[in-house]
Amino acid sequence: MKRLFEIPATPLVPVRGETAGYPVHRIFGVGRNYAEHAAEMGYEVDRETPFYFTKPASAIVPTGSEIPYPPGTSNFHYEMELVVAIGAPAFRVSVEDAAKAIYGYAAGLDMTRRDLQLAERAKQRPWSLGKAFEKSAPIAEITKAADFPEVGSQRISLKVGDEIRQDAHLSDLVWSVPELISHLSRFYHLVPGDLIFTGTPAGVGPVSPGDRITGAIDGLQPVTITIGAAE
């Protein structure tokens, strides 16, 4: 069947050492995956089960971009996160086998319209307006898993201008990367092109037009954005 019209192309994320890009299929986000962040949001960590939200692929924007202050919010927040890129199909995989599905890792930002998310949360509604919107997932280049040490002692941090606002270690993750992949694969057929934003440490906060945000994880290219004028 012919296409009635064209839609935006699948975004590509650069990969260190490759000329070809990693095409993005889906984006999963993990909620409350660092204990201190769960506490600052008014919750204790739930060790029974992780939970998720999704963003459209159109949320992807490359590091170095200026992203507009989005519509509908007056409390636009950064969340610095480790992103896992899936590189092999995974369905009902064990925690032990989950690592085989990992293509690589990247530094990413789960930009959030916090006022809308909290209003949705208060009314027990989905977080779509708060989380799933255009340019809400800035991401740096992917480093292949073989070129990245075991996830653990790496520092994860975020600066607004020169001020450090988030500072933790990947060992603080409540649900490990293999645990997340194994759990998600009980509900989805994970495929290459799927990204998992693994949650943010404590210290989330608002941004304003003109702010420069830099998120870093040891061993990965940092993710940097500038906040543009309100749309």
Residues that bind Mn ion (CB under 5 A): 79, 110, 200
Q: How far is the CB of 5 from Mn ion (least distance, A)?
A: 33
The two counts, helices (H) then strands (E), for the chain are: 4, 18
Q: Is 192 left (phi over 0), alpha (psi -120 to 50) or beta?
A: beta
Question: At 39, which amino acid appears?
Answer: A
- Sorted by sequence, the CB contacts under 8 Å of residue 121 that are 6+ apart come out as 127, 130
Structure token digits, residue 122? 């208060």
Judged by CB, which is closer to Mn ion: 31, or 87? 31
Instruction: Give the residue nearest to Mn ion (CB).
Output: 110
Judged by CB, which is closer to Mn ion: 110, or 194? 110
Structure token digits, residue 116? 């809308």
Query: What DSSP designation does 4 have?
Result: S
Q: How far is the CB of 104 from Mn ion (least distance, A)?
A: 19
Q: How far is the CB of 18 from Mn ion (least distance, A)?
A: 27
- Sorted by sequence, the CB contacts under 8 Å of residue 205 that are 6+ apart come out as 77, 78, 160, 165
Judged by CB, which is closer to Mn ion: 157, or 200? 200
Q: How far is the CB of 51 from Mn ion (least distance, A)?
A: 11
Judged by CB, which is closer to Mn ion: 198, or 214? 198
Q: How far is the CB of 120 from Mn ion (least distance, A)?
A: 14
Specify the residue for token string 């027990």: 124
Judged by CB, which is closer to Mn ion: 136, or 214? 136
